[in-house]
Amino acid sequence: MQRTTDMPDSITTTLTYLVKHDAKPYVHTEALTGASEPRYFAEQEERDVTIYNGRPLVDSLSLDKQGFELHRRDTVVDDLYDDTSVESVYYAEVEALIKELTGASRVVIFDHTRRTDAEQRGVRGPASRVHNDYTERSGLERVRDVLGSEQADALAAMPVAQINLWRPISGPVKRSPLALLDASTLDPDDLLATDLIYPDRTGEIYHLAYNPRQRWYYFPDMRRDEALLIKGYDSRHDGRARFTPHTAFQDPHTPPGAPPRESIEVRTLAFFG
pLDDT band at 38 (very low <50, low <70, confident <90, very high): confident
Q: Is residue 91 part of a domain?
A: yes
What is the rounded distance in angstroms from the CA atom of residue 58 to the CA atom of residue 60? 6
Return the pLDDT at 12: 98
Return the higher-pLDDT residue of 71 and 119.
71
Longest dimension (CA), the chain: 54
Does 62 have pLDDT greater than 80?
Answer: yes
What is the rounded distance in angstroms from the CA atom of residue 68 to the CA atom of residue 222? 14
For all residues of the chain together, what is the average pLDDT? Answer: 94
Cβ atoms < 10 Å from Cβ of 180: 24
CA angle in degrees (0–180, nearest 5) for 48-49-54: 155
Q: Is residue 250 part of a domain?
A: no
Q: Any residues with CB less than 8 A from the CB of 214 and at least 6 apart, and which?
A: 49, 181, 182, 185, 186, 190, 208
pLDDT band at 127 (very low <50, low <70, confident <90, very high): confident
Q: Is residue 64 part of a domain?
A: yes
Q: Is residue 243 part of a domain?
A: no
What burial class does residue 218 get, using C-beta atoms within 10 Å of its C-beta: 0-12 exposed, 13-18 middle, 19+ buried? buried
- Looking at residues 126-150, what average pLDDT do you find? 95
Percent of the chain with pLDDT over 90: 88
Does 76 have pLDDT greater than 50?
Answer: yes
The separation between CA 273 and the C-alpha centre of its own chain, rounded to angstroms, equals: 25
List the domain range (segments joined by +) for residue 15: 10-238+259-271
pLDDT band at 36 (very low <50, low <70, confident <90, very high): low
Q: Is residue 246 part of a domain?
A: no
Please state the pTM of the whole predicted model: 0.94
Into how many domains does the chain fold?
1
